[in-house]
Chains A and B, each alone.
Chain A
Amino acid sequence: MLTPEEKHEIEKAILLVPAKKAACVEALKIVQERRRWISDESLNDVAAFMGMSAEELDSVATFYNLIFRRPVGRHIILLCDSISCWVMGYENILTQLTQRLNIKYGETSEDGRFTLLPNPCLGTCDCAPALMIDNDLYRNLTVEQLDEILQKYH
């Protein structure tokens, strides 16, 4: 079930577009912000609310990198794996993260704190390597800084 607050937010998004369906990405974002990911149940509820079939909405949901159709941790680590970060050695950052959190790309740490995902170019190539945790951008990363950064997230 969508909450009244979720429905209200989605309705506001619908008002901005000439066709209801056009707000479906916005609707997925609204629900994901509140539930961290889009479960089958959430997907069905959003689809019903938007007047779409679940299949149609899922075709949209699964297209985009940042709509999560599997459970994720409390914080998402997006590690840039594109060319400038590759040249500047992002793979050392990846190795360190993998060891510290004991997870590979696409996995969530056992304590549910972090999900680690690769991400295309974060657009901060002069400060490579870079990653984002939730809404925070970290640049000019070194392996030594990682522990301190991870400690900020509970």
Chain B
Amino acid sequence: MEKPLTEHLGADGRPLTLKEYEKVGGYESVRKVLKGMTPQEVQGVVKDSNLRGRGGAGFNTGLKWSFVPMNGSKPKYLITNADEMEPGTFKDRILLEGTPHQLIEGMIVSAYAIQADVSYVFLRWAYKTAAETITNAIREAYEAGYLGKNILGSGYNLEMHLHTGVGRYMCGEETALLNSLEGKRATPRAKPPFPQVSGLFGKPTIVNNVETLCNIPHIVNKGADWFKKLSLTGDSGTKIYGVSGKVKKPGAWELPMGVTMRELIEEHAGGMQDGLKFRGALPGGASTDFLVEKHLDVKMDYTSVAAAGSRLGTGTLVILDDKTCPVGFVQNLQHFFAQESCGFCTPCREGLPWVEKILNSIDKGEGREEDMKLLEFHTKYLGPGNTFCALAPGAMEPLESALKYFREDFDQHINEKKCSYG
């Protein structure tokens, strides 16, 4: 089984130096594209590979790039979204800390594909080790001539900078990230115009997730067909999956796209802790709908998880066991979303704290029957189309599905006026 993304993770917790990385084929894709491929050809192979964005939205990466005007205004920007803050998600940290050169290689090739002049890594504050590994890797890449002016004598120029954020989930939303990089409050922007046309400082900009960009060197080196064959299903490539919660061996693993939820939990995560049963899971972070026991054999790819009524999201499962209160679980999620709402649009700013308070009351045994109607109302009212960005609709996904799958728990809290999970 091929594991292109994690094959060269530093074994002793230290990432490969540039020299070591070159010895295992590192930066080959930079040579390949600068010496013999047009930007359009690079875009083409990535589009053909059907690489879908690993940040959660799952949009075809090559297609996203193709909206950047090739002869538009300068400078153009390529930005790595390394603001991994989706609760339950810890996959990009592994790549940032373990293979920083793979990310930088992917960024250079991707920047070339859209003819970007400047690139940024937008890194969340909490990833201190990653800040060191990326800083060192960028410095090494400059010294080796992979960054800066006239890269490898090709005439192509690219600058790269690390930007560490100062906290806020909203920074992961790509237009809010751009505002944050411009030194503003991280509120989302209206689309259109899309960032590909008018992004950072009003210039054409691509924002891609860490895992997405780490795939690029391999696709360019080995081709679209190879990438498609890595997967078990129609969505190409491998995926870094993770499992957290009360399983025996929580962790993250690079596996073929399309393994089942059952395989992840039972084989890789060692099954549930003794005495606990699986009750449900968020398949890809806090803003995805619960999947339950009947979904255990769902293939973990974009298409199959969507067909099961949820989203692959970041592909990192958070497990709900039978001794953990589903009401408390959802209350914790809504507390997060209410706190992280940027406050820009009214339904999200006012609605999420209301939802949180209702769930608090129910959790404490002070809920009323009509609260259930209020929660249901909010799942629609804060759903897609009623808010400025995807934060509140994302928050409603676990709530709506919890009301569907764990309804008896909500009713029991209200009827018995207590939480019986202790």
Contact = CB atoms under 8 A, between A and B. Distances in A.
B244 A126 contact: yes
A67 B166 contact: yes
Nearest to B75: A18
Given A82-B88, A121-B85, A19 B243 contact: no
Interface in A105-141: 119-128, 132, 135, 137
Interface string B323-360: 01000110011011001101000000000000000000
B86 A87 contact: no
A135 B242 CA distance: 25
A120 B185 contact: no
Interface residues of A, number: 40
B126 interface: yes
A124 B87 contact: no
Given A24-B183, A132-B126, A87 B245 contact: yes
A29 B332 contact: no
Given A65-B167, A83-B318, A120-B87, A125 B242 contact: yes
Interface string B177-193: 00011111110000000
Interface in B85-127: 85-90, 92-93, 124-127
A64 B167 contact: yes
Contact of A125 (B89, B182, B332, B340): B89
B51 interface: no
Nearest to B246: A87
A88 B181 contact: no
Contacts of A122: 126
Interface string A73-112: 0000010011110111000000000000000000000000
A25 B128 CA distance: 18
Contacts of B242: 125-126
Interface residues on B, range: 35 or more
Contacts of A128: 244, 250
Contacts of A3: none
Contacts of B164: 29
Contacts of A60: 183-185
Contacts of A72: none
Contacts of A7: none
Given A21-B183, A25-B180, A65-B166, A124 B93 contact: yes
In the complex, the 6 A-B pairs of residues with the closest C-beta atoms, listed nearest first: A65-B167, A125-B244, A126-B250, A82-B87, A121-B87, A66-B167
Interface of A: 16-19, 21-26, 28-29, 59-60, 63-67, 78, 81-84, 86-88, 119-128, 132, 135, 137
Given A86-B329, A121-B89, 5 more contacts: A16-B161, A21-B182, A78-B126, A84-B318, A135-B128
Interface of B: 84-90, 92-93, 124-129, 161, 164-169, 180-186, 201, 242-246, 250-252, 282, 286, 316, 318-321, 324, 328-329, 332-333, 335-336, 339-340, 342
